[in-house]
Structure 1
Amino acid sequence: MTAAPVEISHRSITVNGLRTHVAEAGSGPLVVLLHGWPESWYAWRHQLPALAAAGYHAVAPDQRGYGGTDVPERVEDYTIVHLVDDVAALIEALGERQAVVVGHDWGAIVAWNTAQMRPERVRGVAALSIPHRWAEPTGSLPPVAGMRAAFGEDFYIVHFQRPGVADADLARDPAALFRRMLGYTGPAWTGMLSPGGGLLDSLPEPDVLPDWLTERDIAAFAAEFERSGFTGGLNWYRNMDRNWELSAGWRETPVAAPALFVVGDRDGSYASPEARELIEGRSAAVPRLHGALVLPDCGHWTQQERPAEVNAALIDFLRSLEGGRAAGEPASG
């Protein structure tokens, strides 16, 4: 008999003072799935049922400023401390003491920082696409000034710093934005925009969508941002210098939890020194690395592009934390 498909349910709960939308499935040990930019819970549509079927309670929130979650007005309400506190508060609101925290893109940054700043809440951490301590400043300049000096005003993170500019550009046509961003299949994106232009005009319209992406997916993402706008997510970038200051006390603290890293070889972060250290198993900042999976011919959107391989890697990692047993399976003897 074929098992019934696992359904994803939705609700809103109060987390760190914010009305927070979560999508969830299953029961068992808690796994929190943190999306990146510009995404939402929907980025985990393939992982929620797979993790639930494997015996876990998988929960994907819309993080602050996104989708069905509240959008604070102040830029300074989106610091890394706020984002980490949101994860810790979510775990508590779900009635748990700890969780395995999985993140993609910006969600990976939040996951790494949660493991550092709130280690008592994290049983394990899995990061997709972005390695720990990625793109940290190497000189005396703070992060944004360093990027401006290295790449100029047309580097996307520098461009995002101007209040209202990228916000309006991205909101012009959300469906076109997601079709171009998610549907891009060229070489690893450098982050450079057309001179004087915005992100929307800097990416080509794809001739055809990749096999993993549908017009329904594009419409789902576009609908989320037509509701929330783009300012909340952009405010995460506008706190990068502030985050560098706030995280100073943890900067040299290794990630104590077991960790997994997954990256596509067409992702721009793949060639970074931080990713190479993880792939080669020599990262002093992540001493308990369970493994590093490189997905060949895969871009940035790992869990959407290659869901079967990502799901298998996540479940293997989760079971390693349970002593090799499936969740809920009793120990022998």
Structure 2
Amino acid sequence: MTDRLTTFQRDGLTFDVADRGPLDGAVVVLLHGFPERATSWDAVVPALHDAGLRTLAPDQRGYSPGARPAGRRAYAVTELVADVDALVDAAGGAPVHLVGHDWGAIVAWSYAAQHPERVRTLATVSVGHPGAFLRSMAGPQVLKSWYVGAFQVPGLPERMAARRGGVMDRLLAATGMRPADLARFRREVVDDGALPGGVAWYRALPFTPPSWTSARVRVPTTFVWSDGDTACGRAQAERTAGWVDAPYRFRVLEGVSHWVPEHAPDELAQLLLDGVALEGAGGAGARA
């Protein structure tokens, strides 16, 4: 692959993608979460490029202006995973290093489980394996995830985000978002019309195949969790190891909020680079 990708297509939709770093480098696909876009990785990628890696950061379904289909079924995890597969094809089809934060982590877990032959290494941030997350809902996690239920109410998230400095902004600030993060949320998500599509990921949760939430991961994996995360608790983080049948590392960032790519980019970049080295770890003692 010698040309830069600015977009890729799937099923009549056009996705924007930021393609940076050495064109001949191993490909790292970076999946953003809610409510963010590909720019959430901006402070992380320079270190990856310096290490010779090429990064592809797409604006995912509902966020890219050309990929905002109607109906919540269009945002099922099966569709989100198929979008990533289309990006891997567009990048030449070779296996990639896959990274995801927040909702992007859920997509990354699912993609790695369904397409292990196309993933060299997996790195997920904040959100553990879907099976571990669901089991943790029997405890305090259910209170942390209250907003998932609120987002099912038609029009409610849009009303919460309607006013600058209103309910949504205050809730995001409480999770650790800084003024610059909130300004980007306003500009890239609310003002650009991406909020309904982002919320649709939550509304499509009932259409996730049960077998996908229990699918085990068999590729070298790094999971990064921060103890200042108000949305994703420790229980789901600690349970995740039980869902990975491969070299696995669990790393905790102390004093960092949920927004790891923005608030601890240097530490995260180093962990991602260390994770890339897991590809050659085989089965030898990497479960730390």
Query: Could you tell me which residue of structure 2 aligns to residue 169 of structure 1?
Result: 160
How far does the alpha carbon of each residue in 1:22-73 deviate from its partner, in whole angstroms, 9 at most, with x for none? 1121131111000000000011011222211111110110110014442111
Partners of 1:63 and 1:69 within 8 A in 2: no
Unaligned runs of 5+ in 1: 1-8, 187-209, 325-333
Any residues of structure 2 matched to 1:219-234 within 5 Å, and which? 219-225=183-189, 226-234=191-199
| 2:266 pairs with 1:302 | no
User: CA separation of 1:304/1:88 partners in 2, compared to 1, >3 Å: closer, same or farther?
Assistant: same
Whichever residue aligns with residue 169 of structure 1, its letter is M
TM-score (norm 2): 0.84
Query: Could you tell me which residue of structure 2 aligns to residue 12 of structure 1?
Result: 7
How far does the alpha carbon of each residue in 1:89-139 deviate from its partner, in whole angstroms, 9 at most, with x for none? 11001113211110000000000000111222211111100110243168x
Partners of 1:33 and 1:60 within 8 A in 2: yes
Identity of aligned residues (%): 35
Query: Could you tell me which residue of structure 2 aligns to residue 261 of structure 1?
Result: 223
Unaligned runs of 5+ in 2: 283-288
How far does the alpha carbon of each residue in 1:137-196 deviate from its partner, in whole angstroms, 9 at most, with x for none? 68xxxx9xx99xx66xx92111100122212321333x767864554367xxxxxxxxxx
Distance 2:172 2:273 in 1: 25
The DSSP-based 3-state class of the residue aligned with 2:6 is: strand
Distance 1:185 1:84 in 2: 27
User: CA separation of 1:69/1:55 partners in 2, compared to 1, >3 Å: closer, same or farther?
Assistant: farther
* Higher share in helix: 2
Larger-Rg structure: 1
Whichever residue aligns with residue 38 of structure 2, its letter is W
How far does the alpha carbon of each residue in 1:245-264 deviate from its partner, in whole angstroms, 9 at most, with x for none? x1x23444320111001011
Partners of 1:26 and 1:58 within 8 A in 2: yes
Q: Which residue of 145, 165, 184 maps to 2:174?
A: 184
- Give the alignment's Cα RMSD to 1 decimal: 2.8
TM-score (norm 1): 0.73
Whichever residue aligns with residue 271 of structure 2, its letter is A
Q: How many matched pairs?
A: 272
Any residues of structure 2 matched to 1:175-324 within 5 Å, and which? 180=170, 183-184=173-174, 213=178, 215=180, 217-225=181-189, 226-243=191-208, 246=209, 248-268=210-230, 271-278=233-240, 283-321=241-279
Query: Could you tell me which residue of structure 2 aligns to residue 196 of structure 1?
Result: none
Partners of 1:171 and 1:230 within 8 A in 2: no
